[in-house]
Amino acid sequence: MNDETNDGRMSIIVRTIATMMLPFILIFSFYVIMHGHLTPGGGFQGGAIAASAIVMMIAAYGHKMMEKRISEDGLSMVESVGAAIFAVVAFIGVIMAASFMYNFLVGTPLFGETPPFGSNPGILNSGGVLPILNIAVGMKVIGGLAAVVLIMALAGDKEGDKK
């Protein structure tokens, strides 16, 4: 690989495969996040998968190209919003119901159903606030991990310039 002419991009085979894989990885990560209350996985794991998709794109296309598509400020904002959702959900527990982090959605139409006892695959529309918290954590992890990798890639770039 010669980074000088290609701007850090990898060969066309890698780029094409990466582009093809991207939607599948993202869908899998959203599956892991959304089924966090039913199957192994959850916000952090799903978020890490989605962030690894972004890392794959950075590796395949080079960080200069990706910098134009995703900004570090935007990723930080996603992270902040995710964390804020988490805290707001926790506080709604105090204001509307009994205590901090109280599961106030049980019994409501939104994520409020109770799965039957016995062997069954579970109901997606259950779990109370847990799916919401999983989504919030997922947002935070996607934003945080992708921002860290992007910043490190850019910092390595600056270092190269100085030399």
| Residues in touch with other proteins (CB under 8 A) | 38-40, 44, 76-77, 80-81, 83-84, 87-88, 90-91, 93-94, 98-103, 115-122, 145, 148, 151-152, 155-156, 158-159, 162
CB 15 to other proteins: min, Å: 27
Contact 83, 142 (CB under 8 A): no
CB 25 within 8 A of CB 53: yes
- Residue (8 or 82) nearer to other proteins, CB: 82
Residue with Cβ nearer other proteins (40 or 109): 40
Amino acid identity of residue 88, one-letter, is: V
Q: Compute the least distance from the CB of residue 88 to other proteins, in Å.
A: 7
Least distance from C-beta 73 to other proteins, angstroms?
Answer: 9
Nearest distance from C-beta of residue 25 to other proteins, angstroms: 19
Residues 88/96, Cβ–Cβ less than 8 Å: no
Instruction: Mention every residue, 6+ apart, whose C-beta is less than 8 A from residue 15.
Output: 9, 60, 61
Whether 50 contacts 142, CB under 8 Å: yes
Nearer to other proteins, 68 or 158 (CB): 158
H-run or E-run covering 150: helix 130-162
